[in-house]
Amino acid sequence: MGSSDLDRQIEQLRQCEIITENEVKTLCQKAREILAEESNVQKIDAPVTICGDIHGQFYDLKELFKVGGECPDTNYLFMGDFVDRGFYSVETFLLLLALKVRYPDRITLIRGNHESRQITQVYGFYDECLRKYGSVNVWRYCCEVFDHLALSAIIDNKIFCVHGGLSPSINTIDQIRSIDRKLEVPHDGAMCDLLWSDPDDIEGWGLSPRGAGYLFGGDVVQSFLHNNDLNLIARAHQLVMEGYKLLFNDTIVTVWSAPNYCYRCGNVAAILELNDNLESNYKIFDAAVGVEARGAGLRKRAPDYFL
C-alpha cells in the first residue's frame, strides 16, 4: 500500500468518512506487522503528549488534535479505549491506526480493556461495524490488531504508562516484558490487571468492584516507582470530571480524553504534554460543538428487536 494511498485514506478518515472493507483489511495487516515488533513495554522518547480514553468520540478527538497539535507535528501516546460507547468508534480507531502506519515513530497506541472481543460485543463497537459495513469482517480485523497492541509504554525510562493500573503479579517492568500478549484479554492474571486495575484510597491491594483487575493503594505505587526507578505512572480508564487527576502525592495521574462523556457527564477532557525535560503541562478541552449537523444518518431504521 503506497504512502499516497495511505495519505488519501488518512484525509478521508479525518473527514469522518469510512474507508472500504478491503482497505481496512490491508491497513490492519500493515498495522499488525508494525505492532508485532513493539515491546510489551514500548519505549518512547520525550517530548510526547499522553492521551486517555476516546471511546469513539471522533469529533472530540479532532478537538484533541487542535489543542495538542496534529500528528506527526506532535508525538502522541494514546492509552487505549479507542472504541465503544461513542458514535464513531470505527472512524476513530481507523484514523489512529492509519496515523500509526504512516508515522510509526510519532504515535504510540497501547491497549485498553475495551480493545477486546468480549467487551466490544457488548459496548457498541461490534454493532457499529455491523451497521457501517454490513458484515463483521472489519470487527474481526480490528480485533486481530487489538491483540498486537502493546500493553504499556515507558517514556525516557521515567514515566510508566498503562491503561488501567498495576498488578499484584508484577513488581518490575521486566516481568511485563515476559508476558505473552498476542491474545484476547484474559479474565485474570497480569495482562488483565494492567488493563483493568484502579488506584484507590486503600493500603495494599483490594478487590475490584469491576469484577476484573484490582484496586491498589499509594503504597503499592510508591514501591513500584522505587523498584523501577520511575517518577510517575500515567493511566486512564476512569472518568474524571476535571479531565485529569493526580493522586498519591502526584505519583500517579489519571488522564481522561472524552469530554462530556455519554452527553451527560459534563466533564472536560485532558491531555498531558511532556516536553524534552519531562516537565508536565496539562491541557484541558471541551466537547466539540455543533457536530449534530455532521452526524451521518446511519441509523434510519428501528433496531432489529423492534421490527
Partner 1 sequence: MGFIERLNESVKGLKIDSEIEVSPSIEKVLGLLDALLQTKAEIPPVDNALSRFGNPAFVTFYDKAAEMIPELLKPIVPNDSIPEISAYLVESFGNRRRIDYGTGHEANFIAFLLCLEKLGVISSRDYTAAVLRVFVKYMSLMRELQFSYWLEPAGSHGVWGLDDYHFLPFMFGSAQLIDHKYIRPKSIHDPDIIEQFSKSYMYLGCIAFINSVKNTASLRWHSPMLDDISAAKSWAKVNGGMIKMYKAEVLNKLPIMQHFMFGTLIKFEGGSTVENEDEGCGHDHHHSVEVDKDGKEVYAMGQEHPECCGIPIPSAIAAAAAGQSRRPIPFD
Catalytic residues: 114
Does 207 contact partner 1 by CB under 8 A?
Answer: yes
Q: How far is the CB of 98 from partner 1 (least distance, A)?
A: 23
What mask, x for binding partner 1 by CB under 8 A, covers residues 222 to 241?
Answer: ----------------xxxx
What is the pairing mode between strands 198-199 and 214-216? parallel
Instruction: Give Cβ neighbours of residue 8 (< 8 Å, ≥ 6 apart).
Output: none
DSSP state string for 94-113? HHHHHHHHHSTTTEEEB--T
Among the candidate windows 10-18, 64-72, 96-104, 200-208, which touches partner 1 by CB under 8 A? 200-208
**What backbone torsions phi and psi does residue 100 show, to the nearest 5 degrees?**
-65, -45
Does 295 contact partner 1 by CB under 8 A?
Answer: yes
User: Cell match 455491523: residue?
Assistant: 130
Considering only CA atoms, which of 155, 159, 152 is closest in space to residue 197? 152
Q: Both ends of the chain: CA-CA distance in Å?
A: 42
Q: How far is the CB of 255 from partner 1 (least distance, A)?
A: 12
User: Cell match 504512516: residue?
Assistant: 102
Considering only CA atoms, which of 42, 28, 33, 87 is closest in space to residue 60? 87
At position 58, the amino acid (one-letter code) is F
Residues from 38 through 57 that contact partner 1 (CB under 8 A): 55-56
Among 9, 12, 92, 254, binds partner 1 (CB under 8 A): 254
CB 287 within 8 A of CB 260: yes
Among the candidate windows 10-18, 98-106, 156-164, 254-262, which touches partner 1 by CB under 8 A? 254-262
C-alpha cell at 45: 522518547
**Calpha distance 149→190 (Å, rounded):** 15
Q: How far is the CB of 297 from partner 1 (least distance, A)?
A: 9
Among the candidate windows 31-39, 64-72, 158-166, 263-271, which touches partner 1 by CB under 8 A? 263-271
Does 245 contact partner 1 by CB under 8 A?
Answer: yes
The helix-helix angle for 125-133 and 89-102 (nearest 10°) equals 90
**Calpha distance 206→223 (Å, rounded):** 16
What mask, x for binding partner 1 by CB under 8 A, covers residues 1 to 30?
Answer: ------------------------------
Q: How far is the CB of 251 from partner 1 (least distance, A)?
A: 16
C-alpha cell at 156: 525516557
Number of residues that bind partner 1 (CB under 8 A): 64
Does 134 contact partner 1 by CB under 8 A?
Answer: no
44 or 150: CB nearest partner 1: 150
Among 63, 84, 91, 115, binds partner 1 (CB under 8 A): 84
Does 262 contact partner 1 by CB under 8 A?
Answer: yes
Q: Phi-psi bin for 10: left (phi > 0), alpha (psi -120 to 50), beta?
A: alpha
Does 255 contact partner 1 by CB under 8 A?
Answer: no
Residues lying near partner 1 in the complex (CB under 8 A) are found at 55-56, 84-87, 117-119, 122-124, 127-128, 143, 147, 167-169, 180, 183-184, 186-189, 191, 193, 200, 204-205, 207-215, 238-241, 245, 254, 260, 262-265, 267, 287, 291-292, 295, 299-303, 305-307
